[in-house]
Structure 1
Amino acid sequence: MEVQWLLACHGLVTLLVVISFLCGRWPIFQGTFIERIHYFLTFGAYDYFLRFVEAVFGPKCTNAVLSVEYFCCDRPNPILQIIYLAIISVTYYFIAKSSFMYIPGYYLSGIHRYTSFLAVAVGIMVFLLTSFSDPGTVKAESVSQYLSAYPYDNIIFTEKECSTCKIPKPARSKHCSICDRCVARFDHHCGWMNNCIGERNTRYFLAFLLWHFFLCLYGTVAIGLVLAGRLKELRIVYILTVYYGIENSPLSLAPHIVQWLLGAYNTQILLMVFLAIVALLLAGFFGYHAKLCLTNTTTNETFKWQEHINWQRKLYEEKASAEALRASISGMSSEVQPVSKWRAFFRRSPLEDVEVVKNNIYDKGFYHNFREVIFPFSTRRSFSPTKLKSG
């Protein structure tokens, strides 16, 4: 039982660290310990590491570390793409090596040997499609079409010029400092794809998340059915109840079955837990991005709206405070009826009336938002880039 508790605690800690690292900046975790763990993992720990390197090895070694950081984080590189291919290849190899010998089995037919390979191959194809597709690069010959497709809302997007590309900057676009290009309907730069996620390839990114969620779920269920089949084929429940005298109830049998599985099929158990955790993370990512798409919002715009709403709320609070101060000063100069302490205590503060509404003009309803993601403006016939006239 101690080993089982140790494994359970290890799994929970691993899940907490992974969620904090990947999802710590999500709005739902703002102000929580998950956001603080994310900050430590992404900034705090690295800052302490740099200080340690400089104190022990000197500034030259620190500059070498910063050069590696620049290559890995501030310019396009295939490191995370290679890591993804390594993870999916190694995971599939261990699943095939540890579980294919039991397929066909009691619950699974032999076809799953081939469907699993096909599912992984499709996942890699979607990954490559997302990685190497054009995210919607804004160029001089297409900027006028993007300006028409995405009008300025004069709230979080105003008319301006990209200081790097020297072309008008359409609403919802952003100049990616890593890729060094303006991207229409910019969502974020994905290191795993080594590519921006924008107007043209958001649909592929969503397909990647959804497909890999089902892929991990398929692997989890398939390994679970393999283990359930081994329990049936080896008659483990019969042996435990008849030969060892254990009561034939789920509550009594469960600890012994888990102990037997951990001893005999620990590789399969670890793979199943790993796939289940990744499936949960992918479900969260897909749900978050699907919600953004259905409300016609991007990750970049989410943070812009948050900044705008916070700024507006502070502005309204300052105005309300100023009005309250003026009212109190004018009240001191004129005779007024005294207000009881209880009435003053329950009086509604003018700050409670402050309400900042998000006015997203790009949200045109479920159908149009969904259509804009699946069939981007730049892929439609009406979107015909103006060719520069020569001479």
Structure 2
Amino acid sequence: MGVHWILICHGFVTLLVVVSFLCGQWPIFQGTLIERIHYFLTFGAYDYILRFVGAVFGSKCTKAVLSVEYYCCDRPNPVLQIIYLVIISLTYYFIAKSSFAYIPGYYLSEIHRYTSLLAVAVGILLFLLTCFSDPGTVKAENVSQYLSAYPYDNIIYTEKECSTCKIPKPARSKHCSICDRCVARFDHHCGWMNNCIGERNTRYFLAFLFWHFLLCLYGTVTIGLVLAGRLKELRVVYILTVYYGIENSFLSLAPHVVQWLLGSYNTQILLLVFLAIVGMLLAGFFGYHAKLCLCNTTTNETFKWQDYMNWQKKLNEAKVSAATLRASISGIVGDERKPSLSKWKTFFRRSPLEDDVKAVKNNVYDKGFIQNIQEVIFPFSTRRSFTRAKSKSG
């Protein structure tokens, strides 16, 4: 039983660390253990390491660590790309080594040996496509076309020039400090892709997320069917009920079946749990980005809109406060002329400050979910109208 508990604790700790690292900054986890673990993993641990290195090895080693950090976090580098390829290769290797011996099985045919490899190959192809595709680089040669495609809304985007590229900055674009280029319809810089996600490759990025979610789901279900097949072929339930006298019910059999699986197929169980956790996280990421695309918003713009909404709300509150102050002053002056209200009416009278102060979001780029989806699948820079506009301007 000691090994079984170690495996259970290992799975729980893995789940806690993965969720804390990837989702610890979400509002739902504020003030919880998950947020504290996320802070330790992303900031606290690194700060302690820097202090330890400085105290033991001196300032030169600290500068060396900072230079590695600069290379890994602030400049284009293939580190996370290599890690992705290692993870997907090792995962497929362990699945093939531990589970392919039982395929074909009771529930699975031999075709899954080949479809699994094909599914992984498609996932890697989408990864490479996202990594090495142009995200929509804004240059002097195409800036006029992007200015026409994305007009300024004069709310979160106004006419300005990129201080680095020295060209007009189209609406919805941003200069990426890591890639050192302006990107049209900039969403974010993805370290896993070593590339920006922008106007031309958002479609590939969404396809990557969705396909890898399906890949994890496929792997989870396949391993589950392998284990279910082994239970059926070895007649585990029959042995437990007939020879060991365990009641033939789910609640009675489940602990013994799980114990048997952990003892006999612990590698498959760990892989199943790993794929299920990663699949849920990928589903969340895909759902978030799909929602943004449906309303024609980017990750970068969500922060801009949040700042604008906060500013507008404070402005509205200031206006309401000023109006209330003027009303109070005029009420004091006119007290001698107007009959005073009864205490009962004064108690129930609603103050203007109690009214809900609403901040309005007016996203002019949201043209309905059908056109929004078309804009992601068929970016402006890939259409003939964009090319014709370029030839006319030339």
The TM-score range, normalised by the shorter chain, is over 0.9
CA distance, structure 2, for counterparts of residue 282 and residue 185 of structure 1: 23
Aligned pair in 2 of structure 1 residues 47, 106: CA closer, same or farther (>3 Å)? same
Q: Deviations over 1:25-67 (max 9, x none)?
A: 45x5485535554344323332343334334433222211110
**Counterparts in 2 of 1:228-377, with a 5 A limit?**
228-335=228-335, 337=340, 340=343, 343-344=346-347, 347-350=350-353, 352-377=355-380
- SS at 2:390 equivalent: coil
Partner of 2:384: 381
How many angstroms does 1:351 deviate by?
5.2
Q: Deviations over 1:141-180 (max 9, x none)?
A: 1000000000000111110000111100000000000000
How many angstroms does 1:8 deviate by?
4.9
CA distance, structure 1, for counterparts of residue 30 and residue 326 of structure 2: 34
The answer on whether the counterparts of 1:141 and 1:387 sit within 8 Å (CA) in structure 2 is no
Aligned pair in 2 of structure 1 residues 341, 72: CA closer, same or farther (>3 Å)? farther
CA distance, structure 1, for counterparts of residue 12 and residue 308 of structure 2: 36
How many angstroms does 1:312 deviate by?
1.2
Residue correspondences, number: 389
How many angstroms does 1:76 deviate by?
0.3
Partner of 1:47: 47
For structure 1, the 5+ residue unaligned runs are none
Corresponding letter in the other structure for 1:226: V
CA distance, structure 1, for counterparts of residue 272 and residue 201 of structure 2: 31
Corresponding letter in the other structure for 1:245: G
The answer on whether the counterparts of 2:99 and 2:223 sit within 8 Å (CA) in structure 1 is yes
How many angstroms does 1:102 deviate by?
0.4
Q: Percent identity?
A: 79
CA distance, structure 1, for counterparts of residue 186 and residue 327 of structure 2: 47
Corresponding letter in the other structure for 1:380: R
Q: Deviations over 1:325-364 (max 9, x none)?
A: 3433444455262563895477345253310011000000
Q: CA RMSD in A?
A: 2.4
How many angstroms does 1:7 deviate by?
4.9
**Counterparts in 2 of 1:44-123, with a 5 A limit?**
44-123=44-123
**Counterparts in 2 of 1:133-282, with a 5 A limit?**
133-282=133-282
How many angstroms does 1:386 deviate by?
3.3
Corresponding letter in the other structure for 2:384: R
CA distance, structure 2, for counterparts of residue 127 and residue 227 of structure 1: 30
Corresponding letter in the other structure for 1:355: K
The answer on whether the counterparts of 1:309 and 1:358 sit within 8 Å (CA) in structure 2 is yes
Corresponding letter in the other structure for 1:340: K
Q: Deviations over 1:282-318 (max 9, x none)?
A: 0000000000001000000011101111111122222
The answer on whether the counterparts of 2:150 and 2:172 sit within 8 Å (CA) in structure 1 is yes
The answer on whether the counterparts of 1:179 and 1:195 sit within 8 Å (CA) in structure 2 is yes
Output the TM-score relative to the length of structure 2. Answer: 0.92
How many angstroms does 1:139 deviate by?
0.7
- SS at 1:353 equivalent: coil
Larger deviation: 15-24 or 146-155?
15-24
- SS at 2:175 equivalent: strand
Corresponding letter in the other structure for 2:119: A
The answer on whether the counterparts of 1:29 and 1:35 sit within 8 Å (CA) in structure 2 is no
Corresponding letter in the other structure for 1:202: T
CA distance, structure 2, for counterparts of residue 25 and residue 388 of structure 1: 48
The answer on whether the counterparts of 2:138 and 2:146 sit within 8 Å (CA) in structure 1 is yes
CA distance, structure 1, for counterparts of residue 267 and residue 114 of structure 2: 21
Q: Deviations over 1:97-142 (max 9, x none)?
A: 0000000000000110000001001100010000000000001110
Q: Deviations over 1:170-194 (max 9, x none)?
A: 0000000000000000000000000
CA distance, structure 1, for counterparts of residue 313 and residue 48 of structure 2: 36
Q: Deviations over 1:217-259 (max 9, x none)?
A: 0000000000000001111011111111111111100000000
- SS at 2:355 equivalent: helix
- SS at 1:165 equivalent: coil
Larger deviation: 170-179 or 332-341?
332-341
Corresponding letter in the other structure for 1:315: L
The answer on whether the counterparts of 1:107 and 1:229 sit within 8 Å (CA) in structure 2 is yes
CA distance, structure 1, for counterparts of residue 384 and residue 23 of structure 2: 38
How many angstroms does 1:9 deviate by?
5.5
CA distance, structure 1, for counterparts of residue 83 and residue 282 of structure 2: 17
- SS at 2:139 equivalent: coil
Q: Deviations over 1:203-223 (max 9, x none)?
A: 000000010000000000000
CA distance, structure 2, for counterparts of residue 349 and residue 4 of structure 1: 63
- SS at 1:327 equivalent: helix
Larger deviation: 55-64 or 130-139?
55-64
- SS at 2:182 equivalent: strand
